[in-house]
Structure 1
Amino acid sequence: MKIEFENEIIECNVIYGNREKISIQIDSLGFITVKAPNGTSEAVIVKAVEHHGKKIVDKLHLIAEARNKPRTKEYQEQGKFLHLGKEYFLHELIDTAGLDEEELKKNLKKFYFNSCKKVIGERIKSYQAQLKVKPKSIEIEESRTKWGSCSSSKNLTFNYRLAMAPIDVIDYVIIHELCHLLHMNHDRSFWRRVGSIMPDYKEKEEYLARHGQAMTL
């Protein structure tokens, strides 16, 4: 469905189901999902989207701005890279002596993989205890579209680029995926469970939407 709002086109994917209210979700890539009760008219959906139009458009602009930021990295000692939400010179993260750009990039990616594995391994334990869940496996992977995922077999995967994010943002992704062990869909029960552990989770989503494109090699 395409809805015009203040000279902007808001494109939504509408999903109908057994629910009481309309909800609107925007993922970190700018994909909008409207979930509506069965039988909801198009006019009611349009009105709901228009009611939140300013907030939706502002968030889409933030995502587009982050996506269009320069992504060229300087693979030299004074090049700066994110780690746990802070900027460091490359030589502060890995040994740079005598290495060419390809070797530096390879070693830096290895550093992030190891860091991500270590941080998630340490942080996930307390949240598992709070939620009373246990994943079958935990893997670190490379992905351009997902920060984390949970399979129907209870296998969790996390994007190695999370090592560039602040700890509280990493915690949000951990909580998000652990909650999928209880609720596989993004329904109200799922978000209530996430919010019970991290009430300000929307701020973490906003961080990923705003800074996600800068968290790259």
Structure 2
Amino acid sequence: MQIQLEDQMVTLHVQYAKRKKLSVTVDGSDLITVKAPKGTSEETILGAVASIGPKILEQLRRNAAARKVPEAKRYDGEEVYLYLGREYALHELITVQERNADELKLALKKFYMSSLKKIIAERITRYQTQLRVKPKSIEIVESRTKWGSCSFDGKLTFNYRLAMAPPEVIDYVIIHELCHLLHMNHDRSFWRRLGSVMPDYKEKEAYLARQGQFMTL
């Protein structure tokens, strides 16, 4: 089954089953699955999909962005660099005179690490008080896979690349790791506690999923 959403023709994978409600999902491979009650008409399915067309197209755009491979930085003075969610020329962040590309990259990394350390120290106090927890230590690290982590003995680490994210996204990662001091697993209690402090946390997760690959040196 196919449907036109704005200027894009998309294919629907329809599954009929004994169920009361119709649902639509889009996975990372752009597969759009419609699960519908037995006997649901094509008109009803197409109408339901059309009603959430903008959401479907947005997910497809996110998928496309996630598959895009970011270009390697050249450190030649013509590029922009992310800091707290905004774009800056390199010379606005670090001293660029008499430095080659490798030296500029190292200096920028040090800038991000020192900046994030200060940002975390300033912003974590509020949430520690709200959650009534206190980490044993806080460290800024380099990681390819995690934005933050919490050890069983209460030590928190944060990926230096978070300095490239908007402050509210940094707050999300802070709250996420602080909540692990209360709930080590991602169970319902964990998400309820996190949501009680930041109700729109899913938007912050989506930002990291969408933009994280571009937050690189």
TM-score normalised by structure 2 residue count: 0.74
Corresponding residue number in structure 1 for 2:87 = 87
SS at match of 2:69: coil
- In the TM superposition, residue 181 of structure 1 has moved relative to its aligned partner by 0.3
- In the TM superposition, residue 60 of structure 1 has moved relative to its aligned partner by 7.9
RMSD: 2.4
**Aligned-partner residue type, residue 104 of structure 1:** L
Which consecutive residues of structure 2, in runs of 5 or more, have no partner in the other structure? 1-10, 31-55
Aligned pair in 2 of structure 1 residues 52, 152: CA closer, same or farther (>3 Å)?
A: farther
Corresponding residue number in structure 2 for 1:62 = 62
Aligned pair in 2 of structure 1 residues 120, 52: CA closer, same or farther (>3 Å)?
A: farther
Q: Deviations over 1:150-173 (max 9, x none)?
A: 011111000000000000000000
**Aligned-partner residue type, residue 54 of structure 1:** V
Matched, 1:53 2:25: yes
Q: How does 1:176-195 map to 2 (within 5 A)?
A: 176-195=176-195
Corresponding residue number in structure 2 for 1:29 = none
Matched, 1:74 2:74: yes
Corresponding residue number in structure 2 for 1:35 = none
Corresponding residue number in structure 1 for 2:134 = 134
**Aligned-partner residue type, residue 99 of structure 2:** L
Aligned partners of 2:70 and 2:213 also within 8 Å: no
What is the aligned residue count?
175
Corresponding residue number in structure 1 for 2:118 = 118
Q: Deviations over 1:190-215 (max 9, x none)?
A: 11111111010000001001100000
Aligned partners of 2:140 and 2:160 also within 8 Å: yes
Q: How does 1:154-193 map to 2 (within 5 A)?
A: 154-193=154-193
Greater C-alpha Rg: 2
Q: Deviations over 1:16-74 (max 9, x none)?
A: xxxxxxxxxxxxxxxxxxxxxxxxxxx99xx8xx9452377565872562342323213
Which consecutive residues of structure 1, in runs of 5 or more, have no partner in the other structure? 8-42
> How far apart, CA to CA, are the structure 2 residues paired with 1:60 and 1:123?
34
SS at match of 1:149: strand
Aligned pair in 2 of structure 1 residues 168, 216: CA closer, same or farther (>3 Å)?
A: same
**Aligned-partner residue type, residue 71 of structure 1:** E
> How far apart, CA to CA, are the structure 1 residues paired with 2:108 and 2:81?
9
Bigger relative contact order (CA 8 A; separation at least 6): 1
SS at match of 2:134: coil
Of all paired residues, the percent bearing the same amino acid is 63
> How far apart, CA to CA, are the structure 1 residues paired with 2:130 and 2:107?
36
Q: Deviations over 1:76-130 (max 9, x none)?
A: 2332100000000001000000100000000000000001111011100010000
TM-score normalised by structure 1 residue count: 0.74
Segments ≥4 residues shifted beyond 3 Å: 55-61
Aligned partners of 1:63 and 1:209 also within 8 Å: no
> How far apart, CA to CA, are the structure 1 residues paired with 2:78 and 2:183?
45
Aligned pair in 2 of structure 1 residues 52, 137: CA closer, same or farther (>3 Å)?
A: farther
